[in-house]
Structure 1
Amino acid sequence: MLQIYHNSRCGKSRQCLALIQNSKLEYKVIHYLTHPPSFEELSTIIEKLNIKPFDLVRQKEKIWIENYKDQKLDDKQVILAMISNPILIERPIVVKGNKAIIGRDLEKVSKFIA
C-alpha cells in the first residue's frame, strides 16, 4: 500500500494525491502537519528516500531561517527540528514498500508508483 505524507494547503501535494487517487492503487493519506512522524518514522522515511536529513528540509520556511539556518546541526538535530516543526518537511512524500520519493515531479511519481 502506498502512503502519501500530504499537506492539503500545498498545490504540489494536492496534485500528487490526485495522481495517486486516479491510479486506483491502495493508499493511505498521512496529514503530517497534524500527525507528525516520530523520530523513528522520519528516520525510516529519510532512509527510504536515500537522502540526508538536511535534504528533506524546506530551507526557505521562516521557522528554518529564524531558528536553524546558521547553526551547525547534525543529522539527529535536523530530524528533531522537522519533528518539532513539521512544516519544515518537504512535501509530498510518497512511500512504496522500502522506497520513497519526494513527489513534486508528477512524471517521476507516475513511474515510481507503476
Structure 2
Amino acid sequence: MKNTRIYHNPRCSKSRGTLELLQENSIQPEVILYLDNPPDADELRSLLSMLDMPPRALLRTGESEYAELGLADPGKSDDEIVEAMAAHPRLIERPIFVHNGRAVIGRPPENVLRIL
C-alpha cells in the first residue's frame, strides 16, 4: 500500500477538488477508486485509526444503504458498522487522504493541507 493515497470518487465535487488541491501542491497520490476497489474491514480499521475517529463518524448517513441496513441504531457495534462500510463502500465518507501514516477527510478539501 502506497504511503500517499486518496480514496477518491470522481463523481464527487469535494473529492475532485481535494485531488486538484493536492496536485497543485505537487502531491501525486495513488488514486484509489474505492467504489470499484473497496477497502476491506481491516483496511477500514487502519484508516479509522489514522483518522482517529470511531466508525460511525465515517458513515455517510444520507445514502440509502444507511437506512436499509438500520445503521442509525445506536446498538450497532463498531464491527458491524465497519463490515457494512466494507460491503457497501458508498457508505464511506469521502475523500480520505493518507500521507505518511496520517489521514484526513478532504471536507473541505483544504483539510488535506494539515498533514502535508
Q: Which amino acid aligns with 1:5?
A: Y
Displacement of 1:12 after TM fit? 0.2
Runs of 4+ in 1 over 6 A off after TM superposition: none
In structure 2, stretches of 5+ residues that fail to align are none
Q: How far apart are 1:80 and its partner, in Å?
A: 0.3
Say what the alpha-carbon RMSD is for the aligned residues: 1.3
1:50-97 CA deviation, whole Å, 9 max, x = no partner? 000010000111110122234321011000000110000000000112
The farther-off stretch of 67-76 and 38-47 is: 67-76
Identity of aligned residues (%): 38
Unaligned runs of 5+ in 1: none
Query: What pairs with 1:62-101 in structure 2 (closer than 5 Å)?
Result: 62-71=64-73, 72-101=75-104
2:42 maps to which of 30, 40, 43 = 40
TM-score (norm 1): 0.92
Shift of 1:43: 0.5
In structure 2, the partner of 1:30 is 32
Structure 2 residue 11 is the aligned partner of structure 1 residue 9:
yes
Q: Show the counterpart of 2:110.
A: 107
Q: CA deviation at 1:27?
A: 1.3
How many Å apart are 1:24 and its aligned residue? 1.2
Counterpart of 1:49, as a letter, is L
Instruction: Check conservation: 2:97, 2:106, Cα contact below 8 A.
Output: yes
1-structure distance, mates of 2:32, 2:66: 23
TM-score, scaled to structure 2: 0.90
1-structure distance, mates of 2:72, 2:55: 16
Distance 2:28 2:68 in 1: 39
**What secondary structure is seen at the aligned counterpart in 1 of 2:115?**
helix
Equivalent AA in structure 2 for residue 46 of structure 1: L
Q: Which whole-Å CA distance do the structure 2 matches of 1:87 and 1:42 have between them?
A: 13
